[in-house]
C-alpha cells in the first residue's frame, strides 16, 4: 500500500488545500473536501498511472470512505486488471 498511498496522497494534495504529511490511511475522504471535479482528476491520474478504471458509484454509495480504503480499492483493481 505504501506506493499507492504515496501516489494517492500526492495526487490529492495537488488538488485540495490539505497537507500531504497530515494524510493518514484513516483520513476520511470527506475531510479532504474533494469535489466532483477532483474525483475526475484523480480518475484520470489513476488511469494514467495504473491503467485501471474507477467506478464512482463505489464512492457515492459510501463503500469507500477513507484514503486507506481508496488505496485498497486501487490495489484490488490492479490485481484483477
- Render pLDDT for 10-49 as a digit per residue (tens, 0 to 9): 999 999 988 999 999 999 999 999 988 998 999 999 999 9
The confidence score (pLDDT) of residue 57 equals: 83
Looking up residue 19, the CATH number of its domain turns out to be 1.10.1200.10
Structural domain boundaries, residue 57 = 2-80
List Cα–Cα distances, 60 to 2, 20, 23, 63, 65, in angstroms.
25, 23, 21, 8, 9
How many domains is the chain built from? 1
With 80 as the cut, is the pLDDT of residue 1 above it? no
Say what the pTM is.
Answer: 0.89
With 90 as the cut, is the pLDDT of residue 62 above it? no
Amino acid at each position: 500500500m505504501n506506493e499507492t498511498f504515496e501516489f494517492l496522497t500526492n495526487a490529492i494534495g495537488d488538488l485540495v488545500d490539505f497537507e500531504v504529511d497530515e494524510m493518514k490511511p484513516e483520513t476520511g475522504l470527506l475531510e479532504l473536501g474533494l469535489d466532483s471535479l477532483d474525483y475526475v482528476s484523480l480518475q484520470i491520474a489513476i488511469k494514467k498511472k495504473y491503467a485501471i478504471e474507477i467506478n464512482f458509484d463505489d464512492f457515492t454509495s459510501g463503500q469507500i470512505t477513507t484514503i486507506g480504503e481508496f488505496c485498497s480499492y486501487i490495489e484490488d483493481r490492479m490485481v484483477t486488471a
